[in-house]
Each structure stands twice: as C-alpha cells, then as structure tokens.
Amino acid sequence: MECEIASYHVESYNYLADTGIKLAALDVPAIKFRTLNGENTEIKFVDAQLGKPSIGSSKASMQIDRIPIFPAECRQRGLTYRAPLNIRLGVLTN
C-alpha cells in the first residue's frame, strides 16, 4: 500500500490552477469610474487562466521550445515553479 502524503497538496494546487484562479478573479468587484468626458466606465475580470510551468527560451512571450517542468526538478535546480497568468478584462462604457 502506497502512502500519498503529498496528494492533498497536489490536488489543492491543481484545483487552484484549474478552477480557483478563475473563481477568485470573478469574485473581485468591478471598478467603476467616470472618465474626463463624462462616460461611466466599468472594468471587471472576465477570465483568468494559470498556464503550465515550463523552462526554455528566456523571452516570456515565446512559447516555442518550452519544456514542462515539475516541482521536484525546480527544487533540485534552484528554480521557481512559476507559470504565466493570463487575465481577460471586460470594459463597459456608456
């Protein structure tokens, strides 16, 4: 019988990355303000997605030649387990 001590942490992270980030972004209240020309404007989060951690090109915008990386390898190599966070905003004016 194999003991999965870290499984709770892995499942928790996976939930955060797959579902929690979007729910947290949607929970942030919209910012409402009036522009200099008198238009009412509202900005709110519409979507948020956490990408997969990877290594490769030093340019963050390049997705070519990216290799997936896992937490154990990051610890061994002294790297961070960072991933891109993509956010979509909605802007309403009237």
Look at residue 66 in the predicted model and tell me its pLDDT: 82
* Higher pLDDT, residue 89 or 65: 89
Sign of torsion over alpha carbons 72, 76, 77, 78? positive
- Give the integer Cα–Cα distance in Å for 50 and 19: 9
In 1-94, alpha helices (H): 7-15, 21-27, 71-77
Give the number of residues written for the chain.
94
Domain range annotation of the chain: 30-93
Token pair recorded at residue 9: 């942490």
Look at residue 2 in the predicted model and tell me its pLDDT: 57
Residue 60's pLDDT band (cuts 50, 70, 90) = low
Look at residue 49 in the predicted model and tell me its pLDDT: 96
